[in-house]
């Protein structure tokens, strides 16, 4: 006797595997955490069936679609499922719990496996993410680490995380360093995640945290590159206390040149980025920066960018967005000794 086909609205549970049968493009945009992608219609096939559906008839599209789905499932049966044991119990989903997920689920259940289909598919999961992100951020207490560009805030927070402190690294989740020059172009293989994917990653991270412990974050705007923070988290960040790292200008310049080597290695790309500042600072200022690039005067260039652009922007943002500085953390540089001293102060401040 074949196994019955189960449906579920939540997807949390003990499953051997979570299988997303949507196309590769849909999967890359976002998916349920830990899911694998076994498309019953790949990108090209889905486009082909959709075109026939619109231009010929739904009936013809279903015939061709059924043949393609059957071919793909046959491939998975011989390649992916061949070694699965009798107690294998997968969770399967598609866009909204329709034909694509049921086509695979029905075949697997006929073999004898216990198969569960997500009722409503990915759309059910997406609704869950939106609902959770509207409420979960309000359950935590936050501390903001702020400081002028080049103060090593990200570095300090990541060191703090290695000591067991709860740190929410938004720039890592968004795959961006938060400014016009923050998108690395040297050896960069992955773009920013989609907004949906970012929100899935953010929810996963928040669900790991303990509500009774403080979460540390870096002072950010509500937009990191092309990614927007959920309004619930952004409101909590604006209400949080701030600790400001204060570092001499020379030390900040040295740190930025160390952390952003692509600024030096790709001068023409840097010029194209700086050209976007022309509307604010005028042609003469941009030409001055170009001359410094051509002359390889990197310390002078970075110092001027900080004083002319980044520092004023920081002060404007802090005055407009956050509650104010509750503690100043002055360190001479970002050496191991200085950072370790800062970490002890931050841990005591948290307590």
Q: Which residues are catalytic?
A: 94
Q: How far apart, in whole angstroms, are the C-alpha atoms of residue 23 and residue 37?
A: 8
DSSP structural state of residue 3: P
- Considering only CA atoms, which of 321, 323, 324 is closest in space to residue 221? 321
Residue matched to tokens 């927007």: 228
CA dist 248 → 140, 245, 260 (Å): 33, 10, 18
CA dist 166 → 32, 69, 215, 216, 339 (Å): 24, 45, 5, 6, 18
Contact 270, 184 (CB under 8 A): no
List of residues 6+ apart from 214 with CB closer than 8 A = 140, 141, 142, 143, 165, 166, 350
List of residues 6+ apart from 186 with CB closer than 8 A = 261, 262, 265, 266
- Pairing, β 90-93 against β 115-118: parallel
């Amino acid at each position: 006797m074949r196994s019955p086909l189960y449906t579920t609205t939540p997807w949390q549970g003990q499953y051997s595997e979570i299988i997303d049968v949507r196309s590769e493009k849909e999967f890359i945009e976002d998916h349920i955490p830990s899911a694998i992608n076994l498309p019953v219609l790949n990108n090209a096939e889905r486009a082909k069936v959709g075109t026939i559906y619109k231009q010929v008839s739904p009936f013809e599209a279903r015939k061709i679609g059924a043949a393609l789905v059957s071919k793909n499932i046959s491939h998975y049966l011989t390649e992916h499922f061949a070694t699965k044991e009798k107690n294998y119990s997968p969770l399967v989903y598609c866009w909204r719990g329709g034909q694509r997920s049921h086509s695979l689920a029905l075949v697997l259940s006929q073999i004898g496996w216990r198969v569960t289909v997500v009722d409503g598919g990915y759309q059910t999961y997406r609704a869950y993410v939106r609902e959770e992100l509207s409420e979960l951020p309000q359950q935590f207490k936050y501390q903001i680490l702020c400081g002028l560009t080049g103060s090593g805030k990200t570095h300090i927070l990541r060191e703090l995380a290695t000591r067991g402190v709860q740190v929410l690294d938004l720039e890592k989740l968004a795959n961006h360093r938060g400014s016009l020059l923050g998108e690395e172009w040297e050896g960069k293989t992955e773009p920013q995640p989609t907004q949906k994917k970012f929100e899935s990653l953010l929810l996963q991270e928040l669900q790991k945290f303990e509500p009774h412990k403080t979460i540390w974050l870096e002072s950010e705007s509500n937009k990191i590159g092309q990614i927007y923070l959920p309004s619930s988290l952004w409101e909590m960040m604006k209400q949080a206390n701030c600790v400001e790292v204060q570092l001499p200008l020379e030390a900040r310049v040295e740190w930025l040149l160390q952390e952003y080597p692509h600024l030096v290695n790709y001068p023409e790309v840097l010029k194209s980025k700086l050209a976007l500042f022309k509307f604010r600072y005028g042609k003469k200022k941009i030409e001055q920066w170009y001359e410094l690039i051509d002359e390889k005067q990197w310390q002078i260039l970075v110092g001027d960018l900080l004083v002319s652009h980044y520092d004023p922007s920081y002060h404007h943002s802090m005055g407009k967005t956050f509650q104010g500085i509750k503690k100043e953390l002055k360190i001479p540089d970002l050496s191991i000794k200085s950072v370790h001293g800062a970490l002890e102060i931050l841990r005591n401040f948290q307590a």
